């Protein structure tokens, strides 16, 4: 249940989401209500979360790391939202007045994301994604591909350097290709800064994909690389 109050606390889940959003964009505009969204400066990743709290005012944060650092100064702090600043107060009586940023200076989402026709759906577990990220780090690979294996009738997640055919790669099977089609959907790994957890993933023929967190009311829209391909009949070599 959400309540509109001038003084409130932030749940651990909301703080985790804010910390994750800070990895996408160093600033944030929080609008009145319980929906928080952010967009990367390159505008290739959008994240939207419905949180437990209902914020009573619109406010902008210029430096998310500094704001989160301010919160970490206190144990279970209270937030009092004023016209020009929010007061963060700890149990010991200590407090900080953190002043809002001018919204026009912030990189914000200006329109609702609308998904084109979805052609592929699959589940992505935290363990599979973590293993892929670890492989990318160890092997120093910049790209990730979700692709069909037509011989096996499965969907594979491949970590690779798509600019080099002779580098090592990591591959894992995600499940059956129940939607059919032949495809290679590419991502830059640096764009996949997701909150840990299991996801339901939907892919369009081009442009964008959607990652829906299975525990939190949280969605990421991640742009596909321009060389991504999908066809309903086989075209791969």
Same domain, 92 and 167: no
Same domain, 101 and 128: no
Q: Can you give the pLDDT at residue 165?
A: 84
The 10s digit of each residue's pLDDT in 195-205 is 999 999 999 98
Closest CA to 18 of 210, 182, 216, 237: 216
Task: Write down the mean pLDDT value for the chain.
Answer: 93
Same domain, 136 and 197: yes
Q: Can you give the pLDDT at residue 170?
A: 97
The 10s digit of each residue's pLDDT in 104-113 is 999 999 888 8
Position 203 in a domain: yes
Same domain, 135 and 226: yes
Tell me the mean pLDDT in the region 107-120. 90
Q: Can you give the pLDDT at residue 233?
A: 57
φ/ψ of residue 152, rounded to 5: -95, -15
Position 132 in a domain: yes
Greater confidence, 173 or 91?
A: 173
Position 80 in a domain: yes
Q: Can you give the pLDDT at residue 6?
A: 75
Determine the 3-state secondary structure of 70 from DSSP.
Answer: helix
**Predicted structure pTM score:** 0.92
Same domain, 90 and 172: no
Does pLDDT of 74 surpass 70? yes
> What range defines the domain where residue 38 resides?
7-105
The 10s digit of each residue's pLDDT in 29-55 is 999 999 999 999 999 999 999 999 999
Same domain, 140 and 64: no
Same domain, 136 and 224: yes
Closest CA to 189 of 226, 136, 230, 130: 136
Q: Can you give the pLDDT at residue 72?
A: 95
Tell me the mean pLDDT in the region 65-76. 95
Position 207 in a domain: yes
Of 74, 105, 136, the last residue of a domain is 105
Q: Can you give the pLDDT at residue 205?
A: 86
Q: Can you give the pLDDT at residue 92?
A: 87
Of 41, 72, 105, the last residue of a domain is 105
Q: How confident is the model at residue 114 (pLDDT cuts 50, 70, 90)?
A: confident
Q: Can you give the pLDDT at residue 5?
A: 44
Position 111 in a domain: no
Distance of CA 208 to CAs 22, 70, 85, 204, Å? Answer: 21, 35, 36, 6
What is the torsion angle, in degrees rounded to the nearest 10, for the CA atoms of residue 189, residue 190, residue 193 and residue 198? 0
Position 110 in a domain: no
Same domain, 196 and 148: yes
How many domains is the chain partitioned into structurally? Answer: 2
Of 105, 137, 156, the last residue of a domain is 105
Closest CA to 62 of 104, 35, 95, 100: 100
What is the percentage of the chain residues whose pLDDT exceeds 70? 96
């Amino acid at each position: 249940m959400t309540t509109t109050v001038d003084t409130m606390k932030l749940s651990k889940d909301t703080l985790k989401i804010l910390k994750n959003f800070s990895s996408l964009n160093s600033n944030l505009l929080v609008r009145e209500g319980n929906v928080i969204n952010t967009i990367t400066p390159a505008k290739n990743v959008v994240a939207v979360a419905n949180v437990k709290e209902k914020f009573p005012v619109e406010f902008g944060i210029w430096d998310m790391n500094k704001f989160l650092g301010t919160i970490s100064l206190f144990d279970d702090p209270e937030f009092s939202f004023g016209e020009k600043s929010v007061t963060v107060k700890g149990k010991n009586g200590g407090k900080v007045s953190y002043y809002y940023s001018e919204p026009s200076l912030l990189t914000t989402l200006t329109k609702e994301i609308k998904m084109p026709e979805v052609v592929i759906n699959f589940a992505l577990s935290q363990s599979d994604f973590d293993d892929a990220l670890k492989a990318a780090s160890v092997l120093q690979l910049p790209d990730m591909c979700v692709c069909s294996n037509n011989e096996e009738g499965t969907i594979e997640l491949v970590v690779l350097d798509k600019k080099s055919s002779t580098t090592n790669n990591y591959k894992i099977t995600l499940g059956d290709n129940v939607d059919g089609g032949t495809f290679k959907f590419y991502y830059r790994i640096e764009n996949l800064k997701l909150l840990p957890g299991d996801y339901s993933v939907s892919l369009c023929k081009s442009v964008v994909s959607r990652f829906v967190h299975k525990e939190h009311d949280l969605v990421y829209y991640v742009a596909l690389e321009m060389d991504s391909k999908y066809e309903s009949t086989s075209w791969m070599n």
